[in-house]
A = this chain, B = another copy of it.
Amino acid sequence: MQQVSDLSRYLDQLRVQIEESLISASTFSDQCPPKLLEAIRYSLLAPGKRVRPCLALMACDACGQPAEKAIPAAISLEMIHCYSLIHDDLPAMDDDDLRRGRPTNHIEFGEATAILAGDALLTRAFEVLALGIEEPDIAVACISELASAAGAEGMVGGQQADLEAETRTITDPDELQGIHRRKTGHLLAASLLMGGRIARADDETLECLKIYGESVGLAFQIADDLLDVVGDSAKMGKHVQKDADHGKSTYPGLLGIETSRLKASQLIDQACDAVSCFGEQGQHLIDLAKYLIERDH
């Protein structure tokens, strides 16, 4: 419990800086039409856990540099995450009306503005990195890292694969893992890598951060799937069946609950091993990994 409250205080401190920076990074001149600005800020400044920004700051901190040095990376990651939610919610995609209890962007502002708000956030993410990171070689490395994680071979590709998979049933756990890796894993890994790059971490350290990010990303997804199944009631079989009826493949559905739990736990061990090289400075990363699969909401 001590560890959780330490972690929680630490994350709260990081989030204060993140929220302030999100506000200033979403300030535009009057060349941005007011409705577009409102739509951008409606989604970007909505309450959120800021997982990716926190990971970027934590990685920079673990590498021995002040966390705030990674603020441009943190902001760009949240912008990419936010744009992807706006576009994924569109009628042509997942067609969601609500996100965390609030109307989705296109419900509030109309589809055209929602598409454009997403495009503007995606574009701004790269501008924030180009303008905000002082050393050009690091800025270029972060831009390249972010684009690779977010693009056709990463997040966008994962969303396409996910949409295509809805019309059939995935029976191969590796295929499910491949989709999640692209849809969420790469961007989580990029969060840590960008934080590490800003701290000028060496290749070996970057590799450790990458393993941590990918393992935590996958474990997080399995934990999410498990919560869907066993979170509310104990009617597991029925819930799994419900997911299957919706054509949505999940880890518990494919591997069973116990094997899924084991896999998540192994991934977290792997993540913690990977960052053990940081010693004391990696403690927050270890606490976060453990917290992610122990949470009950």
A36-B152 in contact (CB<8A): yes
In the assembly, what is the distance between CA of A136 and CA of B119, in Å? 25
Q: Which of B29, B115, B143 contacts A153 (CB 8 A)?
A: B29
Q: Closest Cβ of chain B: how far from A33's Cβ, in Å? A: 5
Most interface-central of A122, A123, A140, A147 (chain B CB within 10 A) = A123
A151-B164 in contact (CB<8A): no
Chain A, 170-182, contact with B by CB distance < 8 Å: what is the 0/1 string?
Answer: 0000000000001
A28-B152 in contact (CB<8A): yes
Chain A, 245-263, contact with B by CB distance < 8 Å: what is the 0/1 string?
Answer: 0000000000000000000
Q: Closest Cβ of chain B: how far from A89's Cβ, in Å? A: 11
Interface residues of A (CB under 8 A from B): 28-29, 31-33, 35-37, 40, 83, 87, 90, 92-93, 110-113, 115-116, 118-120, 122-124, 126-127, 129-131, 136-137, 139-141, 143-144, 147-148, 150-154, 156-157, 159-161, 163-164, 182
In the assembly, what is the distance between CA of A139 and CA of B137, in Å? 9
In the assembly, what is the distance between CA of A36 and CA of B83, in Å? 19
B33-A160 in contact (CB<8A): yes
In the assembly, what is the distance between CA of A110 and CA of B160, in Å? 11
A-B contact pairs, 25 of them (CB 8 A): A29-B153, A31-B182, A33-B157, A33-B164, A36-B152, A83-B119, A87-B116, A90-B115, A92-B115, A113-B160, A116-B159, A116-B160, A118-B119, A119-B119, A119-B122, A119-B156, A120-B156, A122-B122, A123-B147, A123-B151, A123-B156, A126-B143, A130-B144, A130-B147, A136-B136
Q: Closest Cβ of chain B: how far from A105's Cβ, in Å? A: 12
Q: Closest Cβ of chain B: how far from A193's Cβ, in Å? A: 14
In the assembly, what is the distance between CA of A90 and CA of B33, in Å? 20
Minimal Cβ-Cβ distance residue in B for A26: B152
Minimal Cβ-Cβ distance residue in B for A106: B92
A126-B124 in contact (CB<8A): no
Query: Please, which residues of chain B bring their CB within 8 A of the CB of A92?
Result: 110-112, 115
B127-A115 in contact (CB<8A): no
Minimal Cβ-Cβ distance residue in B for A90: B115
A123-B136 in contact (CB<8A): no
Q: Closest Cβ of chain B: how far from A161's Cβ, in Å? A: 5
Query: Please, which residues of chain B bring their CB within 8 A of the CB of A32?
Result: 152-153, 157
Q: Which of B112, B140, B144, B152 contacts A120 (CB 8 A)?
A: B152
In the assembly, what is the distance between CA of A92 and CA of B157, in Å? 23
